[in-house]
Chains A and B, each alone.
Chain A
Amino acid sequence: MDIISAHDLVVGYGRTEILRGLDFAVPEGRITAVVGVSGSGKSTLLKTLAGLLPPLSGGFDFAGRPVNYRSEASLRLLFEQIGVLYQGGALLNSLSLFENVALPIRMQHPKMPEDMVRDMVFASLAQVELAGSADKYPAHLSGGMTKRGALARALVLDPDVVFCDEPSSGLDPITSALLDDLLIRLKETFGMTLVVVTHEIRSIERVADRVLLINDGGLRFSGDYADLAAADDAFIRTFFLRKDSHDDA
């Protein structure tokens, strides 16, 4: 079943169209990688799917319901069903890691007993192996810890879909691989749907079940990762050539 399906979606800022005529589906319980060169509009697409940037035209369904940007109730429903891992983590600097992860619970369920909040926060931090750093502030966390902490915050209310914007950016290969493993574990253990925006070929190869390849203002490829190799497209071959050269090395 598809949890997100876009129909003739046009995204951009103001009057500037960045991506046009997008028709694609994101299957439930799988990892979909949104791939493209820098500046191709991957993050813009993610913002639209995450309810932050209204589409210029067209639209998309989330869990079978059309998302209406003009309706606060529709957006609230969307926000209840998603978690977002931002490129820089976007943890609030004035709050400790514990408080950051507790924030969505406290804001959406203000009457939840503090003991339950605590249990949920530590369960989420344990998933990303940060339970021992709950009292630390974002300024005292490394890049990898910040990303994992932000992922814990995105997961704490068990969303249906987690959007990850460049999860590997700024991380060393080992930390990046650990984060990839974490995403795979979330999918396999909890059946979570993940939409990962990236241009890291190695990361795509490791985690992606499906690929949405964006190029030149549109969708160049939409399908299973396994089908990429068979695609008769010079751009796709060029884009993924780096992967081959890395592997050879």
Chain B
Amino acid sequence: MSDTVLLPKRLRAAEVVVALKDIGRRVESGPVTIDFRDVEEFDSSTLALLNYVRDRLTNVTTVNIGGALARAAESFVSRPPAVEPELPRSGNAAGRALTAIADRFIFQMRSLGRFLAMLGDEVYHVGVYLKERKGVYPGETWNQMFFMGYRSFPIVCLLIFLVGITISITSAEQLRLFGADIYLADLVGIAMLKELVPLMTGVILAGKVGAAITAELASMTVLEEVDALRTMGVVPEKFLMVPRLLAITLVVPLLVAMADVVGIFGGIVVARATFGTPPSAFIAEMVTAVDWTDFGWGLIKTVVFGWTVVVGSGFKGLTVGRSAEEVGRATTESVVLSITLIILIDCIFAFILY
């Protein structure tokens, strides 16, 4: 004999969930009849319940669906309109996978081409600007220098100091085993000037400055400010990028010099605490291992990283789509792109320098 579930007067989402649980339990024992006679208050979840019961539960009968509920049920469209199914691409699964990979590869190569074209354009724009001094808003380079320095100086100094301490502590233990305590100065000097300061500064610039540039330029693109510049006869790739490239070129030497000092200071602190090495002895030993060429290469590397960050983040900002959500995506992608390129370029520098 059929089990009957009498639904309540008010049958909205909360009651539907309870009823569905009850129906599910009873249907396991045999046929169930759902009686809608008392239902007066209903919503779309009630209509979805009706559809669900009819489509999915074979052992269930619905009765006494009348009046407004019946009319609503007739007009309730719970399925998306039928669409023409997309015809499968020709070829087998492996062929389609290869095609998808090829499409992706072509897309990435095109992006790389556009990025390199933009890099070339920016070098040209900077050169033309330095010659003609027009096409850029007056004072914007100073604004950008302040912005980049203000954003980067404290965090670069703090992190490089901590890196200096960490690498010194790690190395000190090994050097002690060989009685080579004083060579900690050589190690810290070379590591800081040639590798760690440029790399860490580049990565921090990618996170702090690059992300901010992408977010700003992407917002300007979405808000049609970039289009507005173009129709004013302004070249956005020059107007927006040249001040940032000049600013990073001028700020990086200051950042690198400060970071070198702070990183080496971290080494001095550890040498003093671990081996009792006086700072003067540390510095005297360090200058036998490093010279101005090392500082110069570190500076050149960091300037290259800085340009990579600005061009990479500018590229992502100016090629963003038209929706607000793409601003966030572009910002994340710009940081990943910048850090990837920095490490790649650092690797190339390693082959050149060592």
A108 and B227 within 8 A (CB): no
Tell me the A102-149 residues at the B interface (CB within 8 Å). 103-104, 106-108, 110
Q: Which label, helix, strand, loop or mixed, suits the secondary structure of the A interface?
A: mixed
- State how many angstroms separate the Cβ of A12 from the closest Cβ of chain B: 15
A84 and B231 within 8 A (CB): yes
Is B112 engaged at the interface, CB distance under 8 Å to the other chain? no
- State how many angstroms separate the Cβ of B217 from the closest Cβ of chain A: 12
Contact with A along B212-233 (1 / 0, CB 8 A): 0000000010011101111111
B231 and A52 within 8 A (CB): yes
B residues less than 8 Å from A90 (CB atoms): 223-225, 227-228
- State A43–B114 Cα separation when bound (angstroms): 26
CB-nearest residue of chain A to B133: A110
A107 and B232 within 8 A (CB): yes
Is A80 engaged at the interface, CB distance under 8 Å to the other chain? yes
Tell me the A89-110 residues at the B interface (CB within 8 Å). 90-93, 95, 103-104, 106-108, 110
A50 and B232 within 8 A (CB): no
Contact with A along B221-257 (1 / 0, CB 8 A): 0011101111111100001000000000000000000
Contact with B along A15-33 (1 / 0, CB 8 A): 0000000000000000000
Contact partner of B224 (CB less than 8 A), chosen from A87, A95, A104, is A87
CB-nearest residue of chain B to A85: B228
B residues less than 8 Å from A107 (CB atoms): 134-135, 137, 232-234, 239
Is A82 engaged at the interface, CB distance under 8 Å to the other chain? yes
Contact with B along A31-49 (1 / 0, CB 8 A): 0000000000000000100
Is A79 engaged at the interface, CB distance under 8 Å to the other chain? yes
A residues less than 8 Å from B224 (CB atoms): 86-88, 90
**Most B Cβ at <10 Å: residue of A83, A86, A95, A107:** A107
B residues less than 8 Å from A246 (CB atoms): none
B233 and A80 within 8 A (CB): yes
Is B138 engaged at the interface, CB distance under 8 Å to the other chain? yes
- State A219–B326 Cα separation when bound (angstroms): 33
- State A88–B227 Cα separation when bound (angstroms): 12
Is A76 engaged at the interface, CB distance under 8 Å to the other chain? yes
B residues less than 8 Å from A93 (CB atoms): 225
B134 and A103 within 8 A (CB): no
B231 and A82 within 8 A (CB): yes
- State A165–B17 Cα separation when bound (angstroms): 49
A residues less than 8 Å from B234 (CB atoms): 103-104, 107
Contact with A along B123-142 (1 / 0, CB 8 A): 00000000001110110000
B134 and A79 within 8 A (CB): no
B residues less than 8 Å from A76 (CB atoms): 233
CB-nearest residue of chain B to A163: B231
- State A246–B304 Cα separation when bound (angstroms): 63
- State how many angstroms separate the Cβ of B138 from the closest Cβ of chain A: 7
Given contacts A51-B230, A52-B231, A82-B231, contact A92 B225 (CB under 8 A): yes
Given contacts A84-B228, A88-B224, A90-B224, contact A104 B137 (CB under 8 A): no
A residues less than 8 Å from B228 (CB atoms): 84, 86, 90-92, 150, 153
Tell me the B26-79 residues at the A interface (CB within 8 Å). none
- State A93–B217 Cα separation when bound (angstroms): 12
CB-nearest residue of chain B to A159: B231
Given contacts A88-B223, A88-B224, contact A106 B137 (CB under 8 A): yes
Contact partner of A86 (CB less than 8 A), chosen from B138, B227, B239, is B227
- State A50–B234 Cα separation when bound (angstroms): 14
A52 and B137 within 8 A (CB): no
CB-nearest residue of chain A to B222: A88
A79 and B233 within 8 A (CB): yes
B residues less than 8 Å from A82 (CB atoms): 231
- State A226–B137 Cα separation when bound (angstroms): 46
- State A90–B220 Cα separation when bound (angstroms): 8
A residues less than 8 Å from B239 (CB atoms): 107
- State A169–B204 Cα separation when bound (angstroms): 42
B137 and A50 within 8 A (CB): no
A50 and B231 within 8 A (CB): yes
- State how many angstroms separate the Cβ of B47 from the closest Cβ of chain A: 30
A110 and B231 within 8 A (CB): no
A52 and B233 within 8 A (CB): no
A residues less than 8 Å from B232 (CB atoms): 79, 103-104, 107-108, 153
7 smallest A-B Cβ distances: which pairs? A90-B228, A79-B233, A90-B224, A104-B232, A110-B134, A86-B224, A84-B231
Q: Known A-B contacts: A47-B227, A79-B233. Give 18 more (CB < 8 A).
A: A51-B230, A76-B233, A84-B227, A86-B227, A90-B225, A90-B227, A90-B228, A91-B225, A92-B225, A93-B225, A107-B134, A107-B232, A107-B234, A107-B239, A108-B233, A110-B133, A153-B228, A153-B232
10 contacts between A and B (CB under 8 A): A50-B231, A91-B225, A91-B228, A103-B137, A103-B232, A104-B233, A106-B137, A106-B138, A107-B134, A107-B135
